[in-house]
Amino acid sequence: MSFRVLRPYVLALLMTLPGMILRFAHPDISPLLLALGSGLAILGASFLLTWACEVAQMDIPQGVAVAVVAFIAVLPEYAVDMYFTWMAGQHPESSYARYAIANMTGANRLLIGLGWSCIVLIFASRFHAAVILNKDKSTEVLFLGMATLYAFAIPLKGSLTVFDGCALLALYIWYMYLISRRPVQDETPEGPAALLAQLARRTRLRCVVAIFAFSAMVIVCNAEPFSENLVASGKLLGVNEFLLVQWLAPIASEAPEFIVSIMFALRGNAALALGSLVASKLNQWTLLVGMIPAVYAASSGAFFPSISLDSHQFQEILLTAAQSLFAVALLTDLRLHMREAIWLLLLFCGQLLSPLYDTQLEALLGLPHDPLRLHGLFAQVYIAAGILLICKNWRAAAALRCGFKV
């Protein structure tokens, strides 16, 4: 076996070493270096998890595969958010609750605004066609729409409680039950995962389990230093740490999934790439958000605590739900065109960069400064456009009910 074949695994392992060394050596160095080292470790572990998850589905029962693999694949994102949530329960007077919501909303908006749009734009520019999802993906789109409608209730009632978590987790369990009953589909792993797929079954299983265990250890060990030093780096550099947690942390944990999806799109299999990101969005919008109140309750020691959030956090949740509604409306016919992807990307970039121009725009319009004004404006645009699209394509929207079938 040549080194060229093993090179992706060697590079991923090397990426994990600095973070693991810094984690146990406790050197007195800049938080910037600590955040970089732990972030690289999480990134390397994420690549290993991505390849192992692809191969694992060859050897374990379908019902177990869809449940376990779906969770493990997004473990890096969950580890960071659950750390912030746990610390918020331990220190309710701190900003940890804000960081947890920032990380969750940033990851969700990044998946749609950047992930979905890039897949479609890459595929359309190369093959001059829209991305058409398989009909079975109507289940993901349907449940994403249901989770989105429920998410609007959180900012409207002004609280995120254990009841909200139970409702979103129930949607996730229902969705997993449906897809776990689907027939097994034989898919040949590509890229680095193909190396593991060629091994004998028993050897392959041992390798996959070892990779899962090692990657989980790396992620768990580096979630705390990455999260804490990311916040410390923001304060050291005079950069808003809320924005770093919201955008930089999800990029580090979701980069492997984006890269793999882009590779599939370049090879012409954009339906698989987009379908994977739609499923990831659903997992985060149900399982990730649903776990936040449960972890907060366990950390705080109360049965039914309400997470302390201010108007900014609820505006973030509203904006994320509004973007999700618009995305679901675009996917009611299970296809995404280039012009629709451009709108997703432009609106995402507009709200992402709004802190750079909101003051000047308000001064131009003669309005007093309100840091949440453009959040509300983009949310209204998303909601209005989403409702119009659903009304226009009501037949396709109604046909999504077939997603309830196995």
Quick check: pTM over 0.75? yes
What's the pLDDT at 64? 55
- Distance (Å, whole) CA 49 – CA 272: 18
Residue range 111-140, pLDDT digits in tens: 999 999 999 999 999 888 999 998 888 999
Q: CATH second-level architecture of 3-349+372-404? A: Up-down Bundle (1.20)
Category of 128 on φ-ψ map: left (φ > 0), alpha (ψ -120 to 50) or beta: left
- CA-to-CA distance for 235 and 244, rounded, in angstroms? 10
Distance CA 214, CA 13 (A): 10
Residue spans of the domains in the chain: they are: 3-349+372-404
Residues of the chain whose pLDDT is less than 70? Answer: 1-3, 60-74, 183-188
Residue in 375, 378, 389, 285 with CA at minimum distance from that of residue 339: 389
Cβ burial, residue 202 (10 Å; 0-12/13-18/19+): exposed
SS3 336: strand
Task: For residue 4, give every residue at least 6 positions away whose Cβ sits within 8 Å of its Cβ, in sequence order, or none.
Answer: none
User: Residue 156 has what pLDDT?
Assistant: 85
Determine the Cα–Cα distance for residues 197 and 32; give it in Å rounded to an integer. 38
Nearest-5° Cα angle at 47, 317 to 243: 30
DSSP at 335: E
CA distance 79 to 221: 10
Q: Name the percent of the chain in helix, strand, coil, to the closest 5.
A: 80, 0, 20
Q: What is the pLDDT of residue 157?
A: 84
In the prediction, which pLDDT does 60 show? 66
Label the pairing between strands 335-336 and 131-132: antiparallel
Report helix, strand or coil for 59. coil
Amino acid making up residue 330: L
